[in-house]
Amino acid sequence: RPVQDARPGPSAISVVAHRGASEDAPEHTLAAYRKAIEDGADALECDVRLTADGHLVCVHDRRVNRTSNGRGAVSALELADLATLDFGSWKADADDHEAPDRQHEDPERTSVLTLERLLELVADADRRVELAIETKHPTRWAGQVEERLVELLGRFGHTDPAKDASVPPPVRVMSFSARSLHRLRAAAPEIPAVYLMQFLTPRYRDGRLPPGVGIAGPGIRILRAHPDYVARAHRAGHQVHVWTVNEAADVELCRDLGVDAVITNRPKQVRNQLGLG
Ligand code: G3P
Ligand code: CA
């Protein structure tokens, strides 16, 4: 699809806030995403998982143990269970600040975030802010994540086929699973898909991607080892969105190679380095 394959101009490198401005605020919280928007991020990245009662929530790990004061798999918990947990204080601990008393803490820094709330935040922003949604555990749920995702995106008007095709959709879906992207594209072909890659397998070394996918999502390690991958993907007509680009030298590499988007925990610093701040 032309919208998906069109590359921005050479200077238009997009800065994507990975789990929000997650260096400064607890990842996947409303506070982290508000900060990313304030910092000028072009797009927000989030991981989504399905709760036991069918809600899509923004949580990276299979379990809530690392990023909350609770325990257990997201898929075994209901949204009401997650709503009782503190998803923010671990960050204060990790940053070696005094852990705040939850009672006096801003709920936007501590509450579980639903994808629905994040879509609202983006819809209410006073400028265009894109959303890059990564489906996690897609195999286990055999289509339910994508089904729920398409339904939610439809409610926000992102799957409307009558939309102006010359404006790229503000939402895209990413996955390490080609199968998840295939399901998504089958249900909502207007949503761009990003194929995430941890390693450059022989199958995709020449820049090709799974059918219907228009954007390559290599990890920065791939670019360090195979810098010519970017040119190959571009020759094949694809954009290249690279994760997770936090170090100055890696930002430099991405700029030199002409990647289309960098996904980073530090959107403000990266924008400054790129002269966009
Ligand atoms: O943006 C892609 C990147 O987030 C993939 O890795 O583990 O941070 O979800 P992970
Ligand atoms: Ca992710």
| Catalytic, out of 28, 55, 60, 137 | 60
Mutate to test the pocket of ligand 1, among 14, 16, 18 (most ligand atoms within 8 A of CB): 18
Q: Which CATH architecture has domain 2-62+113-273?
A: Alpha-Beta Barrel (3.20)
- With a 6 Å cutoff on the Cβ, whether 27 touches ligand 1 is no
- With a 6 Å cutoff on the Cβ, whether 196 touches ligand 1 is yes
Contact 172, 133 (CB under 8 A): yes
- With a 6 Å cutoff on the Cβ, whether 45 touches ligand 1 is yes
SS (H, E, C) the chain: CHHHHCCCCCCCCEEEEECCCCCCCCCCCHHHHHHHHHCCCCEEEEEEEECCCCCEEECCCCECCCCCCCCCEHHHCCHHHHCCCCCCHHHHHHCCCCCCCHHHCCHHHHCCCEHHHHHHHHHHCCCCCEEEEEECCCCCCCCHHHHHHHHHHHHCCCCCCCCCCCCCCCEEEEECCHHHHHHHHHHCCCCCEEEEECCCCHHHCCCCCCCCCCEEEEEHHHHHHCCCHHHHHHHCCCEEEEECCCCHHHHHHHHHHCCCEEEECCHHHHHHHCCCC
Contact 65, 150 (CB under 8 A): no
Q: Which residue has the least CA distance to atom 1 on ligand 1? A: 243
Calpha distance 22→27 (Å, rounded): 5
Residue 99: the pLDDT is 57
| pTM (2 d.p.) | 0.93
Q: Which atom of ligand 1 is nearest to the CA of 217?
A: 2
Does the annotation count 60 as an active-site position?
A: yes
Average pLDDT over residues 199-205: 96
Calpha distance 92→166 (Å, rounded): 44
**Token pair for 124:** 């209410």
CA of 127 to the centre of ligand 2 (A): 23
Mutate to test the pocket of ligand 1, among 243, 246, 260, 262 (most ligand atoms within 8 A of CB): 243
Burial class (CB in 10 A: 0-12, 13-18, 19+), 115: buried
Q: Which atom of ligand 1 is nearest to the CA of 176?
A: 5
Pick from 111, 118, 107, 108: which is nearest to 48 by CA?
118
Residue 130: the pLDDT is 98
Contact 99, 89 (CB under 8 A): yes
Residue 12: the pLDDT is 80
Compute the residue count for the chain.
Answer: 277
Average pLDDT over residues 108-121: 97
Residue 53 has pLDDT above 60, yes or no: yes
CA of 165 to the centre of ligand 2 (A): 27
Average pLDDT over residues 160-164: 80
- With a 6 Å cutoff on the Cβ, whether 243 touches ligand 1 is yes
Q: pLDDT band at residue 243, thresholds of 50, 70 and 90?
A: very high
Q: Which atom of ligand 1 is nearest to the CA of 19?
A: 4
> For 2-52, what is each residue's pLDDT tens digit?
334 444 444 589 999 999 999 999 999 999 999 999 999 999 999 999 999
> For 122-144, what is each residue's pLDDT tens digit?
999 999 999 999 999 656 667 89
Ligand nearest to the CA of 196: 1
Bridge partner residues of 15 (DSSP): 262
Does the annotation count 18 as an active-site position?
A: yes
Q: Could you tell me which residue, 7 or 71, shows the higher pLDDT?
A: 71
Residue 66 has pLDDT above 50, yes or no: yes
- With a 6 Å cutoff on the Cβ, whether 134 touches ligand 1 is yes
Residue 95: the pLDDT is 84
| Catalytic, out of 18, 28, 55, 238 | 18
Q: pLDDT band at residue 92, thresholds of 50, 70 and 90?
A: confident
Quote the mean pLDDT of the chain: 92
Q: pLDDT band at residue 1, thresholds of 50, 70 and 90?
A: very low
**Angle, helices 144-155/178-187, rounded to nearest 10 degrees:** 40
